[in-house]
C-alpha cells in the first residue's frame, strides 16, 4: 500500500484528549503521514474546565493554504472535525478543492451538536454552511442530532429502524454519498453505527457503556479514517473504530480522576493490531 498523506483540520485543545491531540497520534499509528491545520488553540477543551484560553486561527488559514499551493503540496485525504465558524468552513472547501490529490477523499465529521442541541458556539447560519461542506464530501460521520440538523428533521430521543432509515434517506436526498451514522441504539445496553453506502445499509452493534467520556467522537472518527485509508471498507472501518473506542472507554472508566477524556494512548497497540500492521 502506498504511503498516504492526510490533512486533518480541527482545533487543538492542549489538554483534554480530543480534536487534534487525538487525531494526530491515531492517524500516525495507522501509518499515515498526518498533516494538521489547527482552526484554533485552546488551553483545555470546554467541557468541565473553566477559565480556558482560546486563540482563533481563522486569519492564518488562507496564508497556510497559499504556501502549500506554492510548494505543490497535495493530500490523499482531507478529514475535518470541529470548525469554529462559517468562514472556516468556506476556507476548508477551498482547501479540499485546491489541494486534493487525484482521487483524494473528503471526510467530514460535522461536529456541531449532540443530545438534540447545537453546541453553544453555533447557530442556524453555521448549520447551513455545514450542509454545503457535508453534502459535498465523500463520507460524513454525523451523530443522530447532527443528522437531524443537516436534514431539518425534528430530533427524537426514541426511534425505531424505520425512522433511522428515513433519516438516512433524507441525508442521501440532500447529497450525502457515504454516511456513517453514529450512536444508533435500538435496544437497552447496546448501541452501534449504521453505514449507508450506495443503496446498501448495514448496522454494526456493540456494547453501550453508560459512562460518557469527552472526546470519544474524535477518537472514533480518527480511528475510522485511519482504517479506511489502510484499505478497509466503510463498514469494516466503522466496526473497527467502534471496537477501538469501546476499548478506550473501558480502560478509562474506573479512574474517576480521568474525567476529561479517554486513555486512548494505552490502546494504540490494540488499534495497530486491529489494523494488522
Interval 152-184: pLDDT, tens: 999 999 999 999 999 999 999 999 999 999 999
* 83 lies in some domain: yes
pLDDT digits (tens, 9 = 90+) for 193-207: 999 998 899 999 988
pLDDT beyond 70 at 211:
no
* 116 lies in some domain: yes
Question: How many structural domains comprise the chain?
Answer: 1
**Is residue 116 classed as helix, strand or coil in its secondary structure?**
coil
pLDDT digits (tens, 9 = 90+) for 10-36: 999 999 999 999 999 999 999 999 999
Q: Exposed, middle or buried: residue 250 (CB in 10 Å: 0-12, 13-18, 19+)?
A: middle
pLDDT of residue 209: 79
The Cα 204–Cα 218 span in angstroms is 19
Rg (CA), the chain: 18
CATH (domain of 166): 3.40.1190.20
C-alpha cell at 170: 433524507
pLDDT beyond 80 at 210:
no
* 276 lies in some domain: no
* 84 lies in some domain: yes
* 63 lies in some domain: yes
pLDDT of residue 213: 78
Average pLDDT value for residue range 37-54? 92
Question: Is there a contact between 210 and 224 (Cβ–Cβ < 8 Å)?
Answer: no
Domain that holds residue 40: 5-268
Helix (H) or strand (E) holding 7: strand 5-15
* CB-CB neighbours of 128 under 10 Å: 13
* 178 lies in some domain: yes
Tell me 143's DSSP state: B
* 275 lies in some domain: no
Average pLDDT value for residue range 137-145? 98
**How many residues in the chain?**
277
Phi, psi (degrees; rounded to nearest 5) at 42: -115, 145
pLDDT beyond 70 at 1:
no
C-alpha cell at 226: 485511519
pLDDT digits (tens, 9 = 90+) for 77-134: 999 999 989 999 999 999 999 999 999 999 999 999 999 999 988 999 999 999 999 9
The Cα 178–Cα 234 span in angstroms is 8
State the residue for C-alpha cell 443522530. 144
* 273 lies in some domain: no
Closest CA to 219 of 81, 117, 122, 106: 81
Question: Hey, which residues does 117 pair with through a beta bridge?
Answer: 114
Amino acid at each position: 500500500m502506498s504511503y498516504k498523506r492526510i490533512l486533518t483540520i480541527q482545533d487543538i485543545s492542549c489538554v483534554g484528549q480530543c480534536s487534534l491531540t487525538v487525531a494526530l497520534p491515531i492517524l500516525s499509528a495507522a501509518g499515515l503521514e498526518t498533516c494538521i491545520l489547527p482552526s484554533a488553540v485552546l488551553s483545555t477543551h470546554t467541557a468541565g474546565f473553566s477559565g480556558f484560553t482560546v486563540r482563533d486561527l481563522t486569519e492564518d488559514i488562507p496564508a497556510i493554504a497559499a504556501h502549500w499551493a506554492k510548494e505543490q503540496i497535495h493530500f490523499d485525504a482531507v478529514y475535518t472535525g470541529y470548525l469554529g465558524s462559517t468562514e472556516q468552513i468556506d476556507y476548508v472547501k477551498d482547501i479540499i478543492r485546491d489541494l486534493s490529490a487525484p482521487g483524494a477523499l473528503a471526510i467530514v465529521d460535522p461536529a456541531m451538536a449532540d443530545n438534540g442541541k447545537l453546541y453553544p458556539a453555533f447557530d442556524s447560519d453555521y448549520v447551513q454552511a455545514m450542509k454545503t461542506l457535508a453534502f459535498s464530501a465523500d463520507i460524513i460521520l454525523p451523530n443522530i442530532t447532527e443528522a437531524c440538523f443537516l436534514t431539518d428533521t425534528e430530533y427524537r430521543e426514541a426511534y425505531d429502524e424505520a425512522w433511522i432509515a428515513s433519516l438516512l434517506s433524507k441525508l442521501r436526498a440532500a447529497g450525502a454519498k457515504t454516511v456513517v451514522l453514529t450512536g444508533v441504539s435500538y435496544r437497552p445496553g447496546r448501541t452501534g453505527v449504521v453505514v449507508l453506502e450506495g443503496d446498501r445499509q448495514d448496522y454494526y452493534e456493540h456494547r453501550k457503556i453508560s459512562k460518557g467520556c469527552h472526546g470519544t467522537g474524535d477518537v472514533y472518527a480518527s480511528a475510522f479514517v485511519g482504517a479506511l485509508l489502510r484499505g478497509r471498507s466503510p463498514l469494516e472501518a466503522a466496526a473497527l473504530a467502534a471496537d477501538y473506542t469501546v476499548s478506550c472507554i473501558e480502560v478509562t472508566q474506573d479512574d474517576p480522576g480521568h474525567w476529561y477524556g479517554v486513555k486512548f494512548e494505552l490502546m494504540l497497540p490494540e488499534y495497530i493490531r486491529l489494523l494488522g500492521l
